[in-house]
Amino acid sequence: MNSLDRRAKRTNRLLIDALVDLSTQKSYDVITIRDIVDRADIAYSTFFHHYRDKDALLRDMAAETIVSFHHLIQGIPDSNSLEVGRQIFHHVTNHETLYQIFLHGQGVNRVFQEVQDELQNFILNHYAEEYRNSKIPPEVVG
């Protein structure tokens, strides 16, 4: 990995951590890009080298969380629904601030809908074969 990649990853992590930290103190709706860069201790213009706006940063956070959710679910046998439930709750606990942003932030509806759609598609695709063989009508499953 070259140093540019490491710097970009470090900057992204600083921005994500700053948004998470700020979200514990005030609503996503009132957090500004200036707040985020000040907390991350990076230049204002640097933010725009990485993200178009704060929603793009939130989408990146959500994408990172979804990837970890995919890995979590794929590692559990489908037959062990109790363990799947436990791991989902564990995942929510580990990403509590992000879920709080989605559940309490008024301005995140667009991003939340995208994330919800992506998660729903993943779950339906993951269990599609099981549903094809069930007596549950497809419109109920979807």
pLDDT of 33 reads 97
Share above pLDDT 70 across residues of the chain, in percent, rounded to a whole number:
73
- pTM of this structure: 0.68
Residue 40 — pLDDT band, cuts 50, 70, 90? very high
Give the pLDDT mean for 27-51.
94
Residues 6+ apart with CB under 8 A from 61: 16, 19, 20, 98
pLDDT for residue 23: 85
Structure tokens at 55: 């929603």
Task: For 42-67, write each residue's pLDDT tens digit.
Answer: 999 999 999 999 989 988 888 887 78
Q: What is the pLDDT of residues 5-19, one digit of tens each?
A: 899 899 999 999 999
pLDDT value of position 1: 53
CATH classification code of 3-141: 1.10.357.10
Q: Are 91 and 68 in contact (CB under 8 A)?
A: yes
